Amino acid sequence: MYKLLLCWRYLRTRYIALVSIISVMLGVATMIVVNSVMEGFSGEMQNRIHNSTSDIVIDALDFAGMPDAEYQFEQIRKAAGEDIEAMSPVVLTIGMLNLSPGGRSISMPVRVIGIDEATQGLVSDFNKYLQHPENRKKMSFALREDKYDTRDHQADGDAPDRSIMAEAGWKRRRMIAESLAREQKNRWENPAGAEIRRQSYVEGAEGGAAAPRGAAEGDPEGNVPPPVENVPTGDIFQQNPALAAAAAPAFDMAKDQHTGIVLGMLLASRRFLLDSDEPNGGCEDRFYVLPGEDVKLTFPTAGTPPKVASDTFTVVDFFESKMSESDSSFVFVPIRELQRLRGMSASAADAGMINQILIKLKPGVDGDRVRDKLKAIYPETMYSVQTWRDQRSPLLAAVQLETTILNVLLFFIIAVAGFGILAIFYMIVVEKTRDIGILKSLGASRGGVMGIFLAYGLSLGLVGSGAGLVIGLLFVQYINQIADFLSWVRGMPVFDPTIYYFNKIPTSLVPQTVISIVVGAVAIAVLASILPARRAARLHPVEALRYE
Amino acid sequence: MSDDRERIPHPTTSIDPHRHSMPRVPGSPLFSGPHFQVPKTERAEKAISTSVTIIPMINASPTESPLPAENQIDHLRTIDLYKSYRKGSVEVPVLRGVEVNIRPGEFLAIEGQSGSGKSTLLHLMGTLDGPDKGEIHFHGRRIDNLPARNRDTLRNKRIGMIFQFYHLLPELSMLENVLSPLMIADGVWSYLKNRRKYRETAKSLLNLMGLSHRLKHKPRELSGGEMQRAAIARALIARPELLLADEPTGNLDQATGREILKILRTLNEEQNITIVMVTHDQSLAAQADRIVRLKGGVIEG
């Protein structure tokens, strides 16, 4: 009983002990905050990785691919049919994308992915990342009339301005066709005046399509690039109606589209940070190209040696998985068209060569087990069978390592707090030497005296980590408000949405982690009090009583 | 939380009239005897000033006096005690073959100059320290070689100690200080169960000491005399049979010192508590039943 009473009194009267409480508290709070942010980031990242690819991916190591998707599906079903929900074939290649925003030609290396629009949405979250609500329901490579999202549908709360998307679709296409037709007419009639008109179109486009600054500032001297190659949305045939009529007599830009293409959001736009004080996080997305416009895509054919194949595609949607790596390099085209252009299928009836099979598993099925089954029929020398985790294992391992190292480092904070407790307790034991002697003269046992200081350490640990827990949880709860406040104080953003492509700091609290942090901190406090407590217990009562 | 009620058996129960008249029943309060049912009167407040009033109060049941003949076995006996302390590499002998017999109910004064070893002797008697050589017997039973746990229990329940510097715990109120031996004896639950009874006992004891108006005060708010009276109350709360007093008046002015000594005398006479008092003051020692002089670590004369 006296242990509890004395421990309670010491807790209330020794203000120096508050210092150790505070250090335990800060350690616990920091660990909780850092862990939940790391957990939030890696959880969000895993989610995105998982959603942008399928559960299991079978890759042909040979770039030429594997034949006959239907036959492959049959083989897979035979091996692990009961675990599989859906499968989708993919053709992969590299390519060069050519955009011409505001009269300038921009070429970008891209990863060309031929997908089956009907099944791609079944094996991955591909559809979710599109910008047209109808495409999210049922993906199609046909251009939509309008009603593209003017606001990021995945963002909750603030999102960058994308009001320009209201113009996208057939609407945009007809507008461009009209302006081109007008210009061609003028040029045909008055070649000298064409240049001026072209320039005015460019300025109009800049205002309308919000092309990046500089694209159309042009040269005031009239030192303009050669006109033919740089006409916007350049289909070369449209430069010359006679030529166009001969080559594609039925193609009318206002009514027809080329093969559809879905561009990665970061290929089509750039995010600009204007002013962090404004709503929307002060960000604005500016587009190089909008759905409805045409782009050119160049890629190698499947023959040996490869030849160059090129075609014009009509942008029908954007793909935004929020994984900057994918969003800045993926373009999706219909698989059949890609096979045809690359010479991967002999005829329209032939299923053609494919590079990849995406497999979606039924819920709760262990991916590793199915992967091992499939490895039996797809030998490792020719194919790679990977779960989504395997595919990104270096990245996931890196994040895991980062979390571990951070935790080890942060645990040192609490360990430092532990040494603080140790030092402060030694002081208190020295200060209380006479009291310890008194207690012993009254018949308190060694264990009892030790118990006082262990209970003291325990209560410091409990109070400190309790307070740390509360502060940590509050911090996590209001982390975005705190980040905003810090941004305001520092005058520059703490969390830059243009870097992370999250508008908010993701957090996730794992109860087990929180519990083990608190338990660990309490254990350290108790461990740190063992030495001083033993010293107190071993004090000789006579010497302790004489102590002044 | 030792609830260790183990105690050294009395060699003969009858030697201790006080215990004889009031046997300890397990589970019952340590002293439900009639003499602790002190009515709270104004007289009690003034009790310490006149020994006439305190005697009937503390000792409502008449003491069996003189002691029966068979009780002549020593209450405490030291046999050829040696003790030395080490100062660096030099060994300083403090006690060199001390033999003292203390009879039950006796008020013994051990007188000696500073450094004569009298405090060391008292600490050895209270088992706070062990002798280098020699034996200490408590009711004829050797106690200096008991395991630490038994010695703790002995100190807690059968021996009360008071010190020159009072040695109250500064964090606790006076009432809590007085209760502390009971807190040490009992575990949390049994203490909480008996809390009310204990507090009543402690209050009546403090009442007797004239301190009932100071229950909630911390030691630093008390005068020296008040602190020493509180220390005596603390020493008495577990109803010990032996009281060891180490210069109990050494830090007090003469009048207060006399008051304290009067209380000790009363306790000795009325409750038959054996008292060993260590002092360097001859006039103080003269008030004891018997004086033993310690000089240079040996008993003189």
Q: Position B229: which residue type? A: R
Query: Cis omega before residue A101 (within 30°)?
Result: no
CB contact under 8 A, A9 and B154: no
CA distance A151 to A501: 14
For testing contact with chain A, the best of B128, B173, B190 (most A CBs within 10 A): B128
- Looking at residue A474, what is its pLDDT? 94
Q: Are the CB atoms for A21 and A471 separated by under 8 Å?
A: no
Give the model confidence (pLDDT) of A14-39 as tens digits: 787 788 888 889 989 999 998 898 88
CB distance A174 to A162 below 8 Å:
no
Q: Are B26 and B5 in contact (CB under 8 A)?
A: yes
Helix (H/G/I), strand (E/B), else coil: A397: helix
What domains are there in chain B, each with its CATH number? 14-22+30-71+105-131+146-300 (3.40.50.300)
Task: Classify A105 as helix, strand or coil.
Answer: coil
Q: What is the pLDDT of residues B128-156, one digit of tens each?
A: 888 999 999 998 888 888 888 899 999 99
Paired tokens of A316? 């029908």
Per-residue confidence at A68, pLDDT binned at 50, 70, 90?
A: confident
Mean pLDDT of A493-518: 78
Q: Which residue is listed with tokens 């000792």?
A: B59
The beta-carbon neighbor of A5 closest among B120, B153, B183 is B183
- Asked if residue A468 has pLDDT above 90, the reply is yes
For residue B155, give how far its alpha carbon lies from the nearest alpha carbon of chain A (Å): 5
Closest by Cα among A149, A148, A284 to A213: A284
| Option in A1, A6, A444 nearest B186 (CB) | A1
Q: Is the ipTM of this complex over 0.90?
A: no
Please, what is the average pLDDT of chain A? 80
**Residue A499, min C-alpha distance to chain B (Å):** 57
Q: Check CB contact of A349 with chain B, cutoff 8 Å.
A: no
Nearest Cβ partner of A441 from B126, B153, B176? B126
> Does residue B39 have a pLDDT over 60?
no
* A325 Cβ contact partners less than 8 Å away, ≥ 6 residues apart: none
Whole-number Å distance between alpha carbons of B55 and B66: 17
User: In the structure encoding, which two tokens stand for residue A364, read together?
Assistant: 């709760």
Residues of chain B contacting residue A437, judged by C-beta atoms under 8 Å apart: 167
A299 touches A94 (CB < 8 A): yes
Rounded to whole angstroms, what are the CA distances from A488 to A271, A284, A484, A544?
21, 20, 6, 57
Nearest to A206 by CA among A198, A215, A197: A215
User: How far, in Å, CA of A456 to CA of A485, rounded?
Assistant: 38
Per-residue pLDDT at B195 exceeds 80: yes
Query: Per the structure block, which two tokens stand in for B48?
Result: 């310490």
- pLDDT tens-digit map of A293-350: 889 999 998 877 888 989 999 999 998 887 778 888 999 999 888 888 888 876 666 6
Compute the radius of gyration of chain B from its Cα atoms. Answer: 19
Q: What CA–CA distance (Å, rounded) separates B236 from A217?
A: 101
Tell me whether residues B172 and A5 touch, CB distance under 8 A: yes
- DSSP H helices, A211-300, are 236-239, 241-247, 265-268
Within 13 Å and on the Cβ side, how many CA atoms surround A91? 29
The answer for A 124-153 residues in CB contact with B (under 8 A) is none
- Cα A216 to its chain centre, rounded Å, is 32
Q: B152 and A437: CB-CB below 8 Å?
A: no
Whether the predicted pLDDT of A198 surpasses 80: no
pTM: 0.66
CB A519 within 8 A of CB A413: no
In chain A, residues 434-463 whose CB comes closer than 8 Å to chain B:
434-435, 437-448, 451
Residue pair B17/B63 in contact (Cβ under 8 Å)? The answer is yes
> Three-class SS of residue A278?
coil
**Residues linked to residue B101 through DSSP beta bridges, in sequence order:** B77
Scanning A81-168, the segments in alpha helix (DSSP H) are 120-123, 133-137
Q: Per-residue DSSP letters for A47-81?
A: HHHHHHS-SEEEEESSTT-EE-HHHHHHHHHHHHG
Strand pairing category for A259-264 and A308-319: parallel
pLDDT tens column, B75-120: 888 888 899 888 888 888 888 888 899 988 899 999 988 888 888 8
The Cα–Cα gap between B22 and B12 comes to 15
Q: What is the pLDDT of residue A243?
A: 53
pLDDT winner (highest mean) among A198-207, B2-11, B220-229: B220-229
| pLDDT band per the 50, 70, 90 thresholds, residue B299 | confident
For residue B171, which residues of chain A lie inside 8 Å, CB to CB? 6, 9-10, 13, 435
A443/B184 CB distance under 8 A: yes
Q: Which strand (E) or helix (H) includes residue A62?
A: none
Give A248-306 pLDDT, tens digit per residue.
Answer: 556 777 788 888 999 998 888 887 776 655 555 566 778 888 888 889 999 998 877 88
Q: Do B241 and B273 meet the contact criterion of CB atoms below 8 Å apart?
A: yes
Residues B152, A443 contacting (CB under 8 angstroms) = yes
Tens digits of per-residue pLDDT, B145-191? 888 889 999 999 899 999 989 899 988 889 999 999 998 888 888 88
Beta partners for residue A308, in sequence order = A300
Query: How close are the terminal C-alpha atoms of chain A, in Å?
Result: 27
With a CB-CB cutoff of 8 Å, which residues 216-245 of chain B face chain A? 234
Cα gap A91→A3, rounded to integer Å: 74
- pLDDT number for residue A96: 93
Confidence at A218, pLDDT banded by 50, 70, 90? very low
* The predicted structure's pLDDT at residue A466: 94
Distance (Å, whole) CA A495 – CA A148:
29
Q: Which of A49, A85, A98, A126 is nearest to A335 (CA)?
A: A126
Q: Report the C-alpha gap between B126 and B285 in whole angstroms.
A: 20
Question: Is residue B276 pLDDT above 90, yes or no?
Answer: yes
* Triad B34, B40, B44: Cα angle to 5°: 95
A13 touches chain B (CB under 8 A): yes
Interchain CB distance below 8 Å, A442 and B168? no
Determine which of A109-123, A188-202, A237-251, A452-466 has the lowest per-residue pLDDT on average: A237-251
DSSP character for B62?
A: P
To the nearest whole angstrom, how far is the Cα of B152 from the nearest Cα of chain A?
4
Q: Which residue of A has its CA nearest to B179?
A: A2
Residue A365 and residue A384 in contact, taking contact as beta carbons nearer than 8 Å: no
* Interface contact flag, B167 A545, Cβ < 8 Å: yes
CA-based nearest residue to A125, from A157, A153, A99: A153
Which of B84, B155, B179, B192 is the mutation pick for testing A, counting most A CBs within 10 A? B155
Helix (H, G, I), strand (E, B) or coil at B183: helix
Q: Which helix (H) or strand (E) holds B60?
A: none
- Residue A192 confidence class, pLDDT cut points 50, 70, 90: low
Give chain A positions within 8 Å (CB) of B87: none
Question: Out of B1, B123, B180, whose CB is closest to A442?
Answer: B180
Residue B69 has pLDDT above 80, yes or no: no
A45 is written with which tokens? 């990242």
Q: Are the Cβ atoms of B187 and A1 closer than 8 angstroms?
A: yes
Q: Which helix (H) or strand (E) holds A531?
A: helix A511-538
Asked if B186's CB is within 8 angstroms of A439's CB, the reply is no
The predicted structure's pLDDT at residue A171: 86
Q: Which residues of A touch B183 (CB under 8 A)?
A: 1-2, 5
Q: What is the pLDDT of residues B57-68, one digit of tens each?
A: 333 344 444 444
Q: Where are the domains of chain A?
A: 2-47+395-546
Asked if the Cβ–Cβ distance from A443 to B176 is below 8 Å, we say no
**Half-sphere exposure for B193 (CA within 13 Å, toward CB):** 8
